[in-house]
Each structure stands twice: as structure tokens, then as C-alpha cells.
Amino acid sequence: MAKTLKEYQDWIDGLVQDRGNFASADRDKYLSQAVTTHDLNRPYWVTEVLTGDGNAYLELPEDWEVGFSQIDKIEYPLGNHPQTFLAIDEFYVAQVPTSVVANGRRLMFPKSNYPGTDIEAYIIYSQRHRLVQRTTSTVASSTATIVTVSGTPWVAEAYVGMVLGILVGTAAGQSRVITSNTTNTITVSPAFDTTPVALDTLEVTDVTIPNGEFEAVCNLGASIYCGALATYYAQTKSNTIKGVAADFGPKSQQEASREKALLKIYYALCPRRSASAIGAIGRPLQSGRGRLVHKARLR
């Protein structure tokens, strides 16, 4: 089952027992840094349908991030068997004025092979991962699949695809994928093993990191945390009862060793991918069919 933000936080807390003078906010900062680093190794790949309007270009998705997003591949035209993918010299990402396009980029077709009006193409491109708490609340009532809260605190369908976790209470420790939500209810699948009850505390997490990479990201966050502790102890001295300064050098070295060990675990779980290795991996279509992958990347 998908992981909540609290599960990431708890896992890191279990890995880093000695936290010095650091607070939970520091842990969350290092977890955020871990996700940012993980983005570069294992980005979040998104499939989008782009529709032609008769011009020799397509507008890239609104969430295309200049300097980070990369094109994996483009399927066009659709419906061919076997599937047809554009060659690397059949498209490119061009810079255009932001007064024309908000993100300053367009997908250009230099060989007059662009989709015609109302003709679709599939594009797979990278985004940064998300690991964000969107809301917390208190359960007013619940069935095995529908949780209700008081008032109308939410926007309808805003949390579809995110993860509902029960943090505190009878159903604590369970998490489920959100299939729909109204302004005060959330529907999940599959059903809870233990039905939440009134006064249980819930959390909605927007997470795109695959479950298979959960432990790796936690180890990376803990590694960054230990690196910060190593620096802290290297710079810290305290007075003993006799007034003699105590050196935290050994403690600093211990945390530095722990930093390296945890980083090694991260890369054992999520090995670095070279450009050629990335290009050899087929990612599934929404229909579940495999795709070939261009080895080049365009930003």
C-alpha cells in the first residue's frame, strides 16, 4: 500500500536515534532534500495526451519544468500496430518567449510530420516527485471505505490518487488510496481492515514515489541527517564538571561513517542510472503495453 508522509518520517526517526539538538523540522528538511536528490536518479515519469491544432508544434504540458523535465518518448501516430515512435530528429523542444507560452518552451516538429487538427500524440516526460502533506483532520464518522469529517474543508476531487493515512486512533497505521472526495468525505480503496472511528486523526499525502523506492529514500534522508549531525558534533564542545572542554570528534566521526553507510544502502537499492541505461528501459502505457525508449533526453 502507498506510504504516507508520517511513515517516511517514522522510518527516518528509526534510523537516526541520536538527533543531537535537531528538531522534527530538521528531519523534514533532510527528507525533502532526499526527495530532491532522488528526483535526479529516479524521476517521476508522466504520460500526457497532446492534441494538434494544425500548427507545426504542440504546447508542452503546463507542469513542464524548464531545466528539469525531459522527454522520454513520443508515440505518434496513435493506433499503429506495432506502435510508432518518433525518431530523435523528428522533434525538439524550442525556447519561445514567455509572453507566448508561460513556460517558455514548445515541442517542435521540423519535418512536417506534426499532428493535424484534433489529432493526438502521447508524450512521456519527467516531473519531480511529490511527498507533501496536503491536509490533516479529525474523523467525524466512517465506514470501511468512506471517511467523513465535520464542515466542508476540502475541494471536491482535489485528493484523487493521493493517500489517506490514519495517524492516531483505533485505525492508526492504515493507509489507502483515495478514489474520490467531496467537500467533507473521502472514499478509499481497498476497504480499511479496521474501520476508523470518530476522533481518529487522518492525513492526506500527495506522494508519487513508488513503494519499491520507499526504503531507499528513507535511507537517503537519514544519510543526509547523519551528515548534518557529523558537522554539528565536529563544531560542538561542552565544558565538563572540571571545566575541561570535551571534544565531540569521535561522535562526529561515528555520524560521518553512518552517513556513508546509509548512502551506500540507498544506491544499493536504487543504483545510479546512466543515460544509456535509462534509455533501455521500457515504461508501460496507461493501457499496460510496453514502449520502446529513445536514449536521448530533451529539456
- Whole-model pTM: value is 0.82
Cell 513542464 locates to 64
* pLDDT < 50 positions in the chain: 239-244, 275-299
Q: What is the rounded distance in angstroms from the CA atom of residue 128 to the CA atom of residue 162? A: 16
pLDDT digits (tens, 9 = 90+) for 136-172: 999 999 999 999 999 999 999 999 999 999 999 999 9
DSSP state of 86: -
Q: What is the pLDDT of residue 36?
A: 96
Contact 222, 266 (CB under 8 A): no
What's the CA gap between 8 and 84, in Å, rounded? 40
Please report, to the nearest 10 degrees, the dihedral formed by the alpha carbons of residues 182, 183, 184, 186 taken in order.
Answer: 30
**DSSP-assigned letter for residue 221:** H
**Do the beta carbons of residue 61 and residue 51 sit within 8 Å?**
no
Question: What is residue 246's predicted lDDT score, i.e. its pLDDT?
Answer: 56
91 exposure class (CB count in 10 Å sphere: 0-12, 13-18, 19+): buried
Cα Rg of the chain (Å, integer): 24
